[in-house]
């Protein structure tokens, strides 16, 4: 399994509250500059919403090539359908608990999450500009 896939799985299998910036940065750079689209095969149903939120968030940046946006969109659609099915199976009480916390992040709310990556994504902004040279940084 490649490093990017490991970072992605680590990122989406734990609570978004305690996310490691290094994992998010690794996944973001891979998606934005290397055309990485993670495999969803090893994800548990509990991780679908987090995975969808992370990919949906990263896909929105202009540095993602159009063909990769389409691939990511297909993965996100699959996760949306799976997350919806999983959410139907969760208890009403747990859904109410998530909704009670209400994050300001509309995208997180769309995915039924009460935490946000916004503070970490702000730190990623220098890496998604046209002036960032990914190959020079990787050396």
Instruction: List, run by run, the mean pLDDT of 10-residue segments along the chain (139 residues).
Output: 92 76 93 93 89 95 91 94 65 50 79 85 82 61
pLDDT, residue 24, reads: 93
pLDDT, residue 50, reads: 92
Domain that holds residue 57: 3-138
In sequence order, which residues have a C-beta less than 8 Å from that of residue 90 and are 6 or more positions away?
A: none
pLDDT, residue 139, reads: 40
pLDDT, residue 98, reads: 52
For the chain, how many structural domains are there in total? 1
Locate tokens 């992605």: which residue?
A: 8
Whole-number Å distance between alpha carbons of 116 and 53: 9
Whole-number Å distance between alpha carbons of 90 and 2: 32
pLDDT, residue 92, reads: 45
Whole-number Å distance between alpha carbons of 12 and 9: 5
pLDDT, residue 3, reads: 94
């Amino acid at each position: 399994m490649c490093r990017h896939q490991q970072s992605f799985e680590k990122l989406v299998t734990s609570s978004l509250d305690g996310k490691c910036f290094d994992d998010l940065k690794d996944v973001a750079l891979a998606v934005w500059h290397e055309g990485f689209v993670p495999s969803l095969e090893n994800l548990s149903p509990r991780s679908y919403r987090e995975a969808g939120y992370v990919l949906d968030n990263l896909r929105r940046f202009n540095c993602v090539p159009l063909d990769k946006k389409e691939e990511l969109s297909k993965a996100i659609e699959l996760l949306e359908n799976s997350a919806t099915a999983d959410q139907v199976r969760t208890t009403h009480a747990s859904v109410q608990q998530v909704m009670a916390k209400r994050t300001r992040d509309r995208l997180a709310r769309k995915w039924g999450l009460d935490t946000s990556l916004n503070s970490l994504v702000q730190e990623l902004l220098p890496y998604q500009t046209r002036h960032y040279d990914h190959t020079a940084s990787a050396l």
